Structure 1
Amino acid sequence: MGKLTPEAILDAIRRLAQAGELEVSSTDVIRATHGSSATVRRHLDALCSSGQLTRSGQARAVRYRLAGVAATVQTATREAPSAVLHPVWSLDAVELGRKLDAPLAARDPVTYRREFVEDYVPNESWLMPQALAEELYRAGRLREQQPAGTYARKVLEQLLIDLSWSSSRLEGNRYTLLATEELFRRGTAGSDADAVMLLNHKTAIEFLVDAVPLQGLSAALIQNLHAVLMQDLLADTDALGTIRKKLVNISDTVYVPTQVPAVLEEMLEIILAKARLIKNPVEAAFFLWVNLAYLQPFEDGNKRTSRLAANIPLMLYNCAPLSFLDVDPHDYAQAMLGVYEFRDVSRAVDLFAWSWRRSMKKYVVVMESMGAPNPLRLRYREHLTEAIGLVVLDRKSAQAAMEKLGLTEDQAPGFPAMLLEELKKLEVFNCARYRLTLTATQAWIDASRPY
């Protein structure tokens, strides 16, 4: 990128204003332009002196806004609350957008370049700017130490709707958010392919929340994720979860993915191996999202698999889930095309950071709305796990389990009723919180839930 100019500073502030940020700090401008602190502040002072910007506040509270046009932008924003929202694009992302706006005939065909992954060294290389990844991790992680997957479980009901609907909408799904909620309450799809897509997303998210804390990130997990997402949507059931052996062409791009199954399998393993080594879960999530989509390892459903897979590192480190709320399909397509055709992640970075911040705010509110945890449940948390383990694994009766642990009503008031209630609600998709395997839980359910 060339030398930072006052015009570039003004352009960045205009884009921030169009996104609804009418007053910005110097830090906001530095982030939008990738300029140095000293250069940005020097240009801001000059633009204020020339009357093109106005300044308010003091010290760290100093804010800048465009002179003259600010009121117009504010009015337009206020009158159009339902307008499509977009990230504030960095200068690099704007330049990439110009390249992608060129007609297909003017862009050179390209294919998969394995060095995009092979040259990446975990914790030394960064696809996302390191400072941004660290900032996002600090903002989005659960503060207290909890078992992996706790954050996702706490907001699961809302996450199922948000991520299922947002991801499906990016695939052209026609269901509204309200219709999606109704579908999930009803639970049956009939012959509606859009409904199948949504229900598959719901099942896939439940699968991840259950399996990730136990299995971590593995090829088997990703392949099972794909199989669940694409169930009843692929004509060839042999293609579910398997590395593709068919040619794949992507519309509206000059990118042609590699068509060699051995390369696809090898690169998938390399991607997952490197992602497991990345210490910052935000960078790991971004790395998975970008690289799974770029590789296109499956016959279909690669983008939706990459979106859900991006949540795996976030679950493992108890960060807010990424649900792609309010992402415009054109913005998403441009972010992917930048990677496909130019191996340029600038638009993907802006989109990811913007979307995750929106998700983060949503789930903080969801967590706050739940209020304080039930003190009785906190008191008996470990005891509940032990008792349910005795019932499910050792096939003891609930009464025998309570007597063995010294948790009868006389010894632990309120515990027996809580145990019986939890045994009624125990299912394969929620058993991991009691450190139970899917197989053991299913066997207990198949035996008619003896307790």
Structure 2
Amino acid sequence: MPRELAESLYRDGRLREQQPAGTYARKVLEQLLIDLSWSSSHLEGNRFSLLATEELFRRGTAGDDADAVMLLNHKAAIEFMVDGVPMQGLSASIVRNLHAVLMSDLLADTEALGAIRTKMVNISDTVYIPTQIPALLEDMLEMILNKARLIKNPIEGAFFLWVNLAYLQPFEDGNKRTSRLAANIPLMLYNCSPLSFLDVSPRDYALAMLGVYEFLDVSRAVDLFEWTYRRSMKKYIVVMESVGAPDPLRLKYREYLTEAVGLVVRDRRSAQTVIEELGLSDERAPGFEAMLLDELKKLAVFNCARYRLTMTATQAWIDADRPH
């Protein structure tokens, strides 16, 4: 990617004020979950519409529908990144776990989840055949990640990861979707607008990848990346503006609220008991009880990650009629 373009995109896409890594992604998380999950799945031929995806996330159950599983896996993988990347950065364990979450229940062999492949992989509609030696694949994956960590501009880092992970094909299946989500890791670390591949058509995406696979030509990929990233930036600027200034009371009680919600949902403790045990009565923490009860009322499987809850635990609590 041309350096001038990367610098321009970084200037336009970054969060202006100094914030902890991952802040941008957390602020737009609910919209990002839908956008990136649907766009990435759509590029894999998923038949769900955007509206059907939103309904699926509200419902939170897939049954035996593989397309629904694909979407819910994307959602869980994005939540995993938002929680894990700020603490662990860009690492092989993050990328391999990302693959494991994305392909959960979609690969016949569960040992292949997050594992460097030992089988030959064929990519449709191209004569390109990726490297087939497992030890070499593992070394090259580490090399790609090491190089990406040295790239100072997160836009360049995102593009580098997207193209090179897709080219390497380190996993048995799900490589392109892993590369799309992994491209967001540098963006999260530097608080840049996420990349959700909004409105990218499967044909345009395939042509961009074909140039990389067969000719080592990234020109189409650069054009596609710039186009879709600028669309992502515009979308999330609007989302950020709609969020408004953070509530000072919510910021004050942030960690207490996470702990309290977790105790109610995971441990099935009553809200009143939790408030007393944490010493957060209205006398000592004005407004906390009302905030906790309101959050418990709004809690759903599509927004539970912010409280470090799994979708399974949250759904079980909801199915039990939200005991609190």
TM-score band by shorter chain is 0.7 to 0.9
Tell me the CA shift for residue 388 of structure 1. 5.7
Q: Deviations over 1:284-325 (max 9, x none)?
A: 101100000000000110000000000111111111110000
Q: Within the alignment, does 1:385 sit opposite 2:255 as a pair?
A: yes
TM-score, normalised with respect to structure 2: 0.85
Q: 2: distance between equivalents of 1:355 and 1:371? A: 25
1:166 has 2:42 as partner: no
**Is contact 2:262–2:307 with CA below 8 Å preserved after alignment?**
no
- Pairwise mapping of residues 302-341 of structure 1 onto structure 2 (< 5 A)? 302-341=175-214
- The residue that corresponds to 1:103 in the other structure is none
Unaligned runs of 5+ in 2: 264-268, 318-323
Matched, 1:261 2:134: yes
Alignment partner of 1:399 is 2:272: no
Alpha carbons of 1:387 and 1:328: their partners in 2 closer, same or farther (altered >3 Å)?
closer
Aligned residue identity for 2:231: R
Q: Residue 193 of structure 2 contacts residue 236 of structure 2 at CA under 8 Å; is this kept in 1?
A: yes
**1:347 equivalent in alignment to 2:217:** no
Instruction: Describe the shift of the 1:203–1:365 C-alpha distance in structure 2 as closer, same or farther (beyond 3 A).
Output: same
Q: Which amino acid aligns with 1:153?
A: R
Residue 377 of structure 1 deviates from its aligned partner by 2.3
7, 12, 16: which one pairs with 1:139?
Answer: 12
* % identity of equivalent residues: 75
Count of residue correspondences: 306
The aligned amino acid for 2:234 is K
Q: How does 1:55-134 map to 2 (within 5 A)?
A: 128-134=1-7
Give secondary structure in 1 for the equivalent of 2:286: coil
| C-alpha contact 1:210 1:431 (8 A) present in aligned 2 | no
Q: Return closer, same or farther for 1:398/1:197 CA change in 2, 3 Å cut-off.
A: same
The answer to whether residue 167 in structure 2 is matched with residue 294 in structure 1 is yes
Q: 1:430 aligns with which of 306, 309, 319?
A: 306
Equivalent position of 2:240 in the other structure:
367
**Equivalent in the alignment of 2:106:** 233
- 1: CA distance, partners of 2:32 / 2:244: 18
> In the aligned structure 1, how far is the partner of 2:257 from the partner of 2:73?
33
Contact kept? 1:155, 1:367, Cα under 8 Å: yes
Residue 145 (structure 2) aligns with? 272
Task: With a CA cutoff of 8 Å and minimum separation of 6, indicate the structure with the bigger relative contact order.
Answer: 2
Deviation at 1:171, TM superposition (A): 0.7
Taking the aligned partners of 1:310 and 1:353, their CA distance within structure 2 comes to: 13
Distance 2:125 2:261 in 1: 56
Alpha-carbon offset, residue 418 of structure 1? 3.3
Amino acid at match of 2:255: T
| Separation (CA, whole Å) in 1 of partners of 2:136 and 2:108 | 24
Residue 70 of structure 2 aligns with an amino acid whose one-letter code is M
Q: In 2, distance between residues paired with 1:414 and 1:281?
A: 40
Q: What is aligned with 1:122?
A: none
User: Partner residue of 2:321?
Assistant: none
Q: Does the 8 A contact of 2:258 with 2:307 survive in 1?
A: no
Provide closer, same or farther for how the CA distance between residues 285 and 343 of structure 1 changes in structure 2, counting only shifts above 3 A: same
C-alpha RMSD over aligned residues: 2.9
* Change in 2 beyond 3 A, CA 1:419/1:136: same
Larger radius of gyration: 1
Conservation of the 8 A alpha-carbon contact between 1:391 and 1:398: no
Deviation at 1:208, TM superposition (A): 0.9
Confirm or deny: 8 A CA contact 2:261 2:292 kept in the other structure.
Answer: no
Per-residue deviation, 1:397: 5.1
C-alpha distance 158-397 of structure 1, shift in aligned 2 (>3 A): closer
- DSSP-derived class of the 2:64 partner: coil
Which residue is 2:249 aligned to? 376
Report the TM-score, using the length of structure 1 for normalisation: 0.62
Structure-2 separation of matches of 1:324 and 1:223: 21
Instruction: Confirm or deny: 8 A CA contact 1:387 1:401 kept in the other structure.
Output: no
Amino acid at match of 2:275: A
Q: What is the DSSP-based 3-state SS (H/G/I as helix, E as strand, rest coil) of the residue aligned with 1:146?
A: coil
Deviations 1:109-136 (A, max 9, x none): xxxxxxxxxxxxxxxxxxx111111110
Structure 1: tracts of 5 or more residues without a match: 1-127, 446-450
1:387–1:204: structure 2 CA closer, same or farther, 3 Å change rule?
closer
Asked if the contact 1:384–1:419 (Cα under 8 Å) also holds between the matched residues in 2, the reply is no
In the alignment, what sits opposite 2:320?
Answer: none
Partner of 1:315: helix, strand, or coil? helix
The equivalent residue for 1:151 is 24
